[in-house]
Structure 1
Amino acid sequence: MTERLGTTATWLLLASGAVVGLLLVAIVAARSSADLRRRTEAARRTLAMPMLMDVIDGKPVPVPRRRRHAQALALAASDLVHKVRGADRDLLATWLTDAGFRQDALRSMRSPWAPRRARAIELYLATTSGLEPEPVVTMLRDPHPRVRLAAVRALGDSGAREAVPALVRAAGSRRRPVPPSAVAMAIVHAAPPDASAMRHVWTSRDPVLVSTALTVCGHLGLVDARPQIEHLLGSRDHQLRVRAVEALGRIGDPRSALPLRRASHLVPPGSVEGQALRRALEAVGVDQPRFGA
């Protein structure tokens, strides 16, 4: 009986070792295959770039007949569109649309495979020269976080100002959230002329959303948000107070001098908030700010 148990245990160990070995081989093979696929794709995109430069030069360029080469061309175009502006960008968008890539992108944006949907977002915006972002805006509600992040980045890279309200809503979504830092960067790239898209943010109970709005308004110098930002100097949230001070310092409106002075009486000068207040007061024209009660 003991010998049988020992034999069974030996076979179980051998079988377990074989399974583990097969799993390791499968993992290595999958990684090698993925690396090879990435290198092949990168090589094809490199070869496609001269064709796109011919497109920008106004030369007639036929669409590659092989699907893989056409896909490589589409990926290269998605990269290139963010590096060109004006007439060059319009030429590229027109050629991609005439070649059928816009419809391909729209179909791929409905794909059940998340990576394909994410790549299609970039291609679609390339075919529109950054205009008509509505199909991409809907992708901000995609169930997959990778696709939502791709939509945020693409909208920011395209400078789609009309998408700013949707980006703000996406930043405040709890069901399908997106990284606030990515949203802030996208809105800064879009550079809206005012803070009207963020008018509902100031009463939000979500400190991350409010902090995102403060970052955006400060970087863009949106003066119309000044009253709401000054109100946040009295927030109970220390981080929000610091962000509000920093935003007012970036905006640099002299009308913020009095609210900042009042806030400076409530904090020690050596604290993080005190240092931010000193910089903000200097930015709005107060040469020698005083601290303490």
Structure 2
Amino acid sequence: MTDRLGTTATWLLLASCAVVGLLLVAIIAVRVAADLRRRTQTARRTQALPVLMDVLDGHAVPVPRRRRDAAALAPAASDLVHKVRGADREVLAAWLTDGGFRDAALRAMRSPWAPRRAHAIELYLATTSGQEPGPVVAMLRDRHPRVRLAAVRALGDSGAHEAVPALVRAAGSRRRPVPASAVTMALVHAAPADASALRHVWTSGDPVLVTTALTICGHLGLVDARPQIEHLVRSPDPALRLRAVDALGRIGDPRSALPLRRALHTTPPGSIEWLALHRALAAVGVDQPRFAP
């Protein structure tokens, strides 16, 4: 009986070792394959760049006939489109569209595979010179978080002003949320000229959305949001008050001096908020605040 148990234990040990060995081999094989794929993609992008530069120089460059070579142009074009502006971006977009890349991107954005949809977003925007963001805006409601995040980043990088309201709604989505930090960066990159797209945020009651709006207005100096931000200086939420004070300081409008003075009068001296109020008052042109009776 003892010999039989010993034999069974030996076989189980050998089987376990074999399984572990197979797993290690599989992990190594996956890593090697991924590394080879990355190197291949990098090499193809490097080879594709001179072709795209010829396009920007105005040469009549035909789209490569080999599917593999044409596919290598897509990521290279997506990278390049963020590094060029004006006429160069439009030339590149027209060449990609004429070569069928826009249609290919739209098809890929309907793929059941999330990584493919995410990569296609960048290519589509490259073919439109950052315009016509409608299909990408729709991807803000995609079922996969990776695709939604790719859409947010791409819309911000492309500077699509008309996508700003949709980006704001995406930040406040409960069903399919996106990181507020990513939306904030996208909106800062998109650089809206005014705060009209944020008008529903101030009464939303969502502190994440309001914080996002305060950050954007402060960084971009959106003066038309001043009344709403001044109202938040009296918010019961200390974090929102601090953000509002910082935003007013960044905007630097002298009309904000009075609400900032009043807030300073009711703030404990030496506190973080008290110091922030002093900085904001200095920024709006009040170096020595004097309190109204």
TM-score, L = length of structure 1: 0.97
The answer on 1:39 being equivalent to 2:39 is yes
Alignment-mate amino acid for residue 142 of structure 2: D
Cα deviations by residue, 1:179-228 (Å, 9 ceiling, x for unpaired) = 11111111111111111111111112221111000000111111111111
The alpha-carbon deviation at position 105 of structure 1 amounts to 0.2
Which residue is 1:284 aligned to?
Answer: 284
In structure 1, what is the Cα distance between the partners aligned to 2:51 and 2:270? Answer: 59
In structure 1, what is the Cα distance between the partners aligned to 2:270 and 2:60? Answer: 65
The alpha-carbon deviation at position 290 of structure 1 amounts to 6.3
Which residue is 1:192 aligned to?
Answer: 192
Alignment-mate amino acid for residue 282 of structure 2: E
The answer on 1:75 being equivalent to 2:92 is no
Alignment-mate amino acid for residue 132 of structure 2: E
In structure 2, what is the Cα distance between the partners aligned to 1:195 and 1:275? Answer: 27
Aligned pair count reads: 292
Q: Is the 8 A contact 1:264 1:290 kept in 2?
A: no
Which residue is 2:23 aligned to?
Answer: 23
Q: Is the 8 A contact 1:109 1:118 kept in 2?
A: yes
Which residue is 1:271 aligned to?
Answer: 271
Partner SS state of residue 83, structure 1: coil
Cα deviations by residue, 1:151-177 (Å, 9 ceiling, x for unpaired) = 011101111000000000000011111
The answer on 1:145 being equivalent to 2:155 is no
Which residue is 1:258 aligned to?
Answer: 258
Unaligned 5+ segments in structure 1 are none
Cα deviations by residue, 1:98-139 (Å, 9 ceiling, x for unpaired) = 000000000000011111111100000000000000000000
Which residue is 2:122 aligned to?
Answer: 122
In structure 1, what is the Cα distance between the partners aligned to 2:71 and 2:266? Answer: 60
The alpha-carbon deviation at position 246 of structure 1 amounts to 0.4
Which residue is 1:54 aligned to?
Answer: 54
In structure 1, what is the Cα distance between the partners aligned to 2:265 and 2:6? Answer: 80
Partner SS state of residue 82, structure 2: helix
Which residue is 2:90 aligned to?
Answer: 90
Partner SS state of residue 210, structure 2: helix
In structure 2, what is the Cα distance between the partners aligned to 1:179 and 1:195? Answer: 20
CA RMSD of aligned residues (A): 1.4
Q: Is the 8 A contact 1:257 1:281 kept in 2?
A: yes
Cα deviations by residue, 1:2-43 (Å, 9 ceiling, x for unpaired) = 222222122112211211221121111111111110111011
Deviates more, 1:99-108 or 1:185-194: 185-194
Alignment-mate amino acid for residue 194 of structure 1: D
In structure 1, what is the Cα distance between the partners aligned to 2:16 and 2:175? Answer: 42
Which residue is 1:172 aligned to?
Answer: 172
Q: Is the 8 A contact 1:265 1:290 kept in 2?
A: no
In structure 1, what is the Cα distance between the partners aligned to 2:82 and 2:253? Answer: 34
TM-score, L = length of structure 2: 0.97
